[in-house]
Amino acid sequence: MEGIGGDGTSPASPLPQWGHNAWRRYQYYLDKSTPHSTYRWIGTLVVVAIYCLRVYYVQGFYIVSYGLGIYLLNLLIGFLSPLVDPELEGSDGPVLPTKGSDEFKPFIRRLPEFKFWYTMTKAFCIAFLMTFFSVFDVPVFWPILLCYWGVLFVLTMRRQIGHMIKYKYIPFNIGKQKYTGKKASGSISGSRGD
């Protein structure tokens, strides 16, 4: 009986260590994927396609899809919204330009692109897992849910797009912005040694 608990380690200690190592590996690959936005979004489209095929072949789980749609609409509003709303903020600080002579202020999202992508992908994965539990397969008339979601989308996006037009900001950009002005005739192309 000396060998049981004598050295202070419990037999369950490898499991938390394994979980911690798996979480660190997951974070490592997640951090590594940060600069590759195109590949991340392609992966998300694959996850979306798998979810859609699952819902189509099962012919159910419309309430899960409706909840997912509402959640994604909320994420989209956060992604398209500026961090500081010029309508709510007083004129004592910097504002987005409203005419050509105004100084350019960069668009800073309330929800950054990486967080938008990560949360959206995670939501589709959770919704996919929910389709394996029959408790979430509530019988509903899906055209009504689709109509409700369409009305909600139009009402919220109309305000959001009107706001974007009024303050002239475009929230979509892929990658770093590059200077496309004049290039010197003797410039070195491909100066990085990758």
- 166 membership: H or E segment, kind and range: helix 142-167
State the Cα–Cα distance between residues 27 and 10, nearest whole angstrom: 27
Reported as a single tens digit per residue, the pLDDT across 105-127 is 556 677 788 888 899 999 999 99
DSSP string across 47-89: HHHHHHHHHHHHT--HHHHHHHHHHHHHHHHHHHSBSS-TTTS
What the block records as the tokens of 179 is 């200077």
What pTM was computed for the model? 0.66
Distance of CA 189 to the CA centre of its chain: 35
pLDDT at position 190: 44
pLDDT at residue 46, as a whole number? 95
Q: List CB contacts of 166: < 8 A, sequence separation 6 or more.
A: 98
CA contacts within 13 A on the Cβ side of 117? 17
Alpha-carbon gap, residue 98 to 155, rounded angstroms:
24
pLDDT value, residue 192: 41
Which regions of the chain are under pLDDT 50?
8, 185-194
CA distances (Å), origin 180, targets 90, 177, 183, 184: 35, 9, 8, 12
Question: For 49-79, how does the pLDDT look when each residue is reduced to its tens digit (9 = 90+)?
Answer: 999 999 999 888 888 888 898 899 888 888 8
Dihedral pair phi/psi, residue 109, rounded to 5°: -75, 155
Largest CA distance in the chain: 84
Query: Which residue in this structure is represented by tokens 């899906």?
Result: 142
